[in-house]
Structure 1
């Protein structure tokens, strides 16, 4: 079931996002960044701050009373920024990500916004291909990869973001 996350979900969301992107647990899924970056993907302070901004919505996918997926949607006026699309590593390839993308599109349309943009690390070719299959196209724009205080780059290639967009 997909519903809107609340501040009380911060701890569960932090565990989910970090388990899917970084560390050994993330290697159980195909969306891991563990071969590119070390450190936490997000912490509870960053997540709490997301809830403070009224332009942000985090949707959560709950199964058996456990949050197993989420996505951050940021209202940018003429577009929605989609970030932090996360599915528990042991449930990846089960359709949860597709359902969260569809819910993101519905959210955008409810706000009368028909453009969704996102960024993906440029060397994540398999992830970019997945988004392409779901209607996202490379805009040609690139953005520098920001590091937070806990990130350590271990990738052999330089990291930057590819900007993708979808008209819904």
Structure 2
């Protein structure tokens, strides 16, 4: 049975399921079923219970989750930064990709940003993720020209090649 609105705000009780979802979509063999995999770029984990707990303790942040029949199928991290809403960790289960869940989470994030009178939604994307950059461009996000170094921190993954982020934004 599908909820009327499958998108709601995650709570700390969701941390174990979120860790499992995010890591399955971005790392290791399970992630190769979906097109969001970073397995060729990064080893290690994408997130941990500890880093998610820190996200929940940030008063300017929240995580939206997408559930169907009590199965967690997607999530997105949102953080108010000045007049902008930063979007990160947009995740859809590799088994549920291409069903519009990512688009629905992105739309919910944009609605929240509009309600909060934000100037723009900003995000960072690894520069070599061309198909992901194109997906965001089709939804109105544009490269700002700014780049950021990928953190040299195993909590974010172990780099298999030099990586950097590009900053993208959608003006609201």
TM-score for the superposition, normalised by structure 2 = 0.94
SS in 1 for 2:154: coil
1:108 equivalent among 108, 113, 116? 113
| Equivalence for 1:119 | 124
What stretches of structure 1 of length at least 5 have no aligned partner?
none
Provide, for residues 1-32 of structure 1, a one-character-per-residue CA deviation record: whole Å limited to 9, x for no partner.
00000010000000000000000000000000
For residues 149 and 82 of structure 2, the distance between their equivalents in structure 1, rounded to whole angstroms, comes to 23
Aligned residues: 166
User: Aligned equivalents of 2:94 and 2:44: distance in 1?
Assistant: 17
Measure, in 2, the Cα distance between the counterparts of 1:56 and 1:15: 20
Deviation at 1:114, TM superposition (A): 3.2
2:27 maps to 1:27: no
* Partner in structure 1 of residue 163 of structure 2: 159
TM-score using structure 1 length: 0.96
CA–CA separation in structure 2 for the residues paired with 1:129 and 1:165: 13
Structure 1 runs of 4+ aligned residues shifted over 2 Å read: 147-151
Shift of the alpha carbon at 1:154? Answer: 1.5
Picking from 81, 99, 107, the partner of 1:94 is 99
Give the counterpart of 1:132 among 137, 142, 151: 137
- 1:145: which partner in 2? 150
Question: How well do the aligned residues superpose, as a CA RMSD in angstroms?
Answer: 0.9
How much does 1:148 deviate?
A: 2.5
